[in-house]
Amino acid sequence: MKKKFLIFLLIILTGVFSVFKFYSLKVDGKRDYNIAVNIRPGTSLNSAFKQIGMADSIFFKIFLKYEKNSGKNIKAGFYELNGKYSYREILQMMEEGRVKYTILTIPEGYSIKEIGNLIKERGIGTEEGLKKALEGVKDFPYLTPNGNFEGYLYPETYYLSVDTNETELVKAMLGQFLKIFPAENYPDKKDFYEKLIMASIIEREAQLKDEKPLMSSVFYNRLKKGMKLGSDATVNYLYDYSKRRMYYKDLKIDSPYNTYMYRGLPPGPISNPDYSSVMAAINPAKTDYLFFVVTSTGKHTFTKTYKEHLEVQKKNK
């Protein structure tokens, strides 16, 4: 009787071992894959697993439920499977978020139009798509007069899924802006918007970071004295920054963005500035400067009087 029981137990253990071995082979066995799948936040994981061809496997279902917590640790993103992978390796990749990225760098001082041209070149989207995505933004905590988001698309290097679109890009850029400039830190939104406009001008005019506070002081000093800002950048914005050099005929364009023609700040930002430009607009240097001239080295010479300004111009011709 005891012998029969031992034989029966051995058979059971052998069966259990065989099942576990078979299970392990199914879970850790490698298969050929050549597929890309995008797991978006809030979408069904099962649909992604169906695309990969795993959803109908009973062994995968057991593995997913009992070893991988039903996929609760899987991260959203675009995954590319090209080669031999096991179920375990695929789930490990998704839990670690090893997604396929495309890298997009938005340069400091780019306008929305320039960003639109850039993403078109990269095959990510278009200017029209970018503007449409911005129209869909709700509950943005800062001022956007007439739906104008110029100034809020933060210049940064972004790591995006390879099949990203304008909506996801807008979300990333505005999210980065709010991360750097939390709305609760700037309660006076009208004042902040004016500083953002100033920062956008500084961004396009300054070539060196350490000159930004000095340039900021020049513009604020002009405003205090009732002078026109006289910024080439605000006029060039009207030409989509197509002018390498501004001529007197170019300054005749009638627009509130023409700061040679109208006093005060333009009605909105002319670019998307970085942190240093915004800080320069918020904390300008204390100077009596009213003019600046760029030199051949890229630096600017700052002067207090128009006479000094003309003398510097002559030297730099």
pLDDT tens digit sequence for 193-237:
999 999 999 999 998 999 999 999 999 999 999 999 999 999 999
Lowest mean per-residue pLDDT among 10-14, 32-36, 110-114: 10-14
Q: Is residue 218 part of a domain?
A: yes
Q: Is residue 16 part of a domain?
A: no
Span 110-119, average pLDDT: 97
pLDDT, mean over the chain: 89
Lowest mean per-residue pLDDT among 88-97, 207-216, 235-244: 88-97
Q: Is residue 95 part of a domain?
A: yes
Strands 31-39, 77-85: pairing kind: antiparallel
* b/e map 247-278, b = 16+ CB within 10 Å: eeebeeeeeebbbbbbeebbebbbbbbbebbb
Q: Is residue 304 part of a domain?
A: yes
178 and 193 together in one domain = no
190 and 310 together in one domain = yes
110 and 71 together in one domain = no
257: containing domain: 186-315
Domain boundary among 129, 153, 183: 183
Domain boundary among 82, 99, 116: 99
- pLDDT, tens digit (0-9, with 9 covering 90-100), for 154-176: 999 998 887 789 999 999 999 99
Q: Is residue 306 part of a domain?
A: yes
pLDDT over 70 at 99, yes or no: yes
Predicted confidence at residue 317, as pLDDT, reads: 67
176 and 94 together in one domain = no
Q: How confident is the model at residue 242 (pLDDT cuts 50, 70, 90)?
A: very high
198 and 224 together in one domain = yes
Q: Is residue 15 part of a domain?
A: no
3-state secondary structure of 101: strand
Span 67-86, average pLDDT: 86
Q: How confident is the model at residue 62 (pLDDT cuts 50, 70, 90)?
A: confident
Span 132-157, average pLDDT: 96
94 and 106 together in one domain = no
How many domains would you assign to the chain?
Answer: 3
196 and 292 together in one domain = yes
Q: How many CA atoms lie within 13 A of 154 on its CB side?
A: 17
Domain boundary among 99, 126, 146: 99
pLDDT over 70 at 280, yes or no: yes
CA 226 to chain centroid, in Å, comes to: 37
Paired tokens of 184: 């609760």
Q: Is residue 5 part of a domain?
A: no
Q: Is residue 239 part of a domain?
A: yes
